[in-house]
Amino acid sequence: MYLSQLRAKFSGYTSDNFNTYFGPNAVIYFLAGSGLTPAFGYDKEAGKRTKEIVGQYLEAYFQGFGVQRVKLPKEFNADGIADLSKIELVNPEACEVNGRIFVKASGVKEIK
C-alpha cells in the first residue's frame, strides 16, 4: 500500500481535497441532459444499497477534468439552472477512494 492510498483511505470528504484535486477556482458547467438522479443509502452490515433516497446526483463538466457526478442534498432543485451554464458549488468537498474522486456539495449556484 502506498502512502497516498493510506492518506486517502482515512481522509474522507474535505474542502481541502476538493481544492487539491480541482483547484479553488474550478470552472464547472451544469449538464442537465440526464437530469438529477437519486442517491440511495448503503447498509454496511448487509453490504447492499437500500431503497432510502439520501440525496441526488447531478452531472457536471469540470473543465480540464471531464464529467463528474456531484452528490447534493435530496431537497436540491435544479429547475432554475440552464443546461451548460457555468456553476459554482456551494461548500464543495471531495474524497478519493481506490483512485476515484467523489464530489459532494450542499448546493449549486449559477454564475451569470
CA distance 73 to 56: 6
For residues 71 and 93, the answer to whether their CB atoms sit within 8 Å is no
- Give the SS3 label for residue 18: helix
pLDDT digits (tens, 9 = 90+) for 7-26: 544 568 999 889 988 988 89
pLDDT digits (tens, 9 = 90+) for 50-70: 999 899 999 999 999 999 999
Burial 48-64 (b: 16+ CB within 10 A, else e): eeeeeeebbbbbbbbee
* pTM of the predicted model as reported, rounded to 2 decimal places: 0.82
